[in-house]
Structure 1
């Protein structure tokens, strides 16, 4: 028997699901995490989620259930970090394919429950957009979460929703979010994050990285990439809230409206009607407007990279930010993978206080 968890939004949510599973049941308890292959364009340049035919080497565990393994490979031009993540996390990873809408997802979840011999579901979200009303100006990616909620309701299986690190996804303002969540059910600590300790050496998820940092005791203001405001890491940031599925459905107009939805195209239309936008359409526009790759350039010297970082660091500190994610540093400085490795190695050499895994502390002097 395996515990069955669902990572509500894709991207870094499987990492958060593994952390919450470790806190609830112990990291070594067998588990399956169902997740979308729906990753940022920096990972997957093809807009929207991937489905099983977009991969080679998936493991057919049961009809309707495809497992991602380290031998799984995305078919070009698609990209995915799920195969690598499957080798780094203790729970197995199964693929959620939303192209059949709520009804298709419900069939997949039911198949996974039978395979796990699980009689209930833990649905995990990092940040809290799973309880978005849909009209928040900073809301960016509610569709995957709402589809997962609606699909769990369709299965009829008892489902508990866990929201970890409220506000860390920077989508619903914390002051609006906390009254919807109620009192925290548990508080994460460093021991709960041990099973994901090396993931952020290569994975770009920011919300999950912030959750890990908060659980490990990092406190202060952190800057993330492409967010409306920096995030404050305090005790609230390491809390996990437990909600009934009925409560989440009551809070989420989008999840309610997706009941009975039979295709992703239909789900997009529902999202436009409820929230005023489709995040997949936004991804298509971003992909179409993406700048062409820069011409090859020789790698800069370590000293030159540190100088560029120092200038960026001064500007970032002036914004009141004390910590930064690897992804923010990499993208705002427009670094190649080799340049990133060179710069971060130089920062580690500068002193152990620089690297506060998985974040980077900005120097004040």
Structure 2
């Protein structure tokens, strides 16, 4: 893969705010969804305008980044090297082809600054990066944030899909020796650890997110594919009901618990996570993968490699936009079948991918469905006052 180390834009700490004022330090346990969640948790804990740095992986779905696994720091042009072992992502940062990343765009929309976690040095390498960030922020503690709860997975859950990044973050934070608070927001929203198994591990919520805490992420879900993050925002804004996502086979129930944030000690998380304990002291990502195979029976990076190998050598040519009436009729039929499954809300990603919409078709359909929008989700079926009428989009009007 092309190295871009010599093309990075290096700036002094003072030119980016540096150490002149302290910043809160948050670590997003997984990918982009956890970074978005960290911004909301930060707003709840400290106030959205309090200076903060969120450290996060550049580890995204193949539809965004066709290269399996997480990205290295050297996979980006234009990061800001504000201190040894600390690179910041900015709106001007660009992934080096063929890699892709949504982090530069996300950095322009979230109020906290974004720093890159590069896991290719294993837990020990991540520990150096997090410790460097703590020094740069003048932070005396770390808030580690996860949406859904796979951070406390035991490794044998049949629905577990992506435990490695979370467990590496736990092991790395433990290695810093700094006080760490672990926050699990939206228990079960990632559909990885079933709620009956998950909730006893978490205890009672420490606090609940509300609509005001979601204000810092307004607009993000117009383009970002994180479904767990979108569900959390919807729950915080008071949406209640059964929601269907693209990323998991089971529907998610948005209830009063869905906006809760549970606070655990680092020792408690380490006790619950055999994988985090096994990753302590790892010096490389391959070694971390071996630990995941030993504990969980799989490596999610290996799964990504297999999926990437099955993709066509060249992306398919964009399909021409279909007639809006045909798109509306297809949506109406799909909506009828989805409602029959007991689902009341769906994510943007589910509609787009299950209907195979082009970008133009998606824009047209969502414009027609504007009165169905509920936070970052879409309500299926007519509104309460419209029930009994023919309210399908393009379905007989």
TM exceeds 0.5? yes
1:321-364 residue CA offsets vs partner (Å, 9 max, x unmatched):
0000000111111112222111111211xxx2x01020000015
Dislocated runs of 4+, deviation >6 Å: none
Which of 55, 65, 72 in structure 2 is aligned with 1:34? Answer: 55
Find the residue that maps to 2:221 and give its secondary structure.
Answer: helix
| Larger Rg over CA atoms | 2
Map of 1:1-365 to 2, 5 A cutoff?
A: 1-291=22-312, 293-348=315-370, 352=371, 354-364=372-382
1:2-56 residue CA offsets vs partner (Å, 9 max, x unmatched):
0000000113110000000000000000000000000111211111000111110
Question: How far did residue 294 of structure 1 move?
Answer: 3.6
1:244-283 residue CA offsets vs partner (Å, 9 max, x unmatched):
0000000000000111000000000000000000000001
Distance 2:291 2:249 in 1: 25
- Which residue in 1 is equivalent to 2:6? none
Distance 1:302 1:215 in 2: 33
Task: Pick which of 286-295 and 43-52 moved more.
Answer: 286-295
1:11/1:40 contact within 8 Å kept: no
2:227/2:247 contact within 8 Å kept: no
Find the residue that maps to 1:12 and give its secondary structure.
Answer: helix
1:281-313 residue CA offsets vs partner (Å, 9 max, x unmatched):
001111111256444432112222111111111
Question: TM-score, normalising length from structure 2?
Answer: 0.90
* Number of residue-to-residue matches in the alignment: 361
2:319/2:358 contact within 8 Å kept: no
2:186/2:232 contact within 8 Å kept: yes
Find the residue that maps to 1:242 and give its secondary structure.
Answer: strand
Question: How far did residue 228 of structure 1 move?
Answer: 2.5
1:4/1:122 contact within 8 Å kept: yes
1:107-127 residue CA offsets vs partner (Å, 9 max, x unmatched):
000000000000110000000
Distance 1:103 1:159 in 2: 17
Question: TM-score, normalising length from structure 1?
Answer: 0.97
Please tell me the root mean square deviation across aligned C-alpha atoms, in Å.
1.0
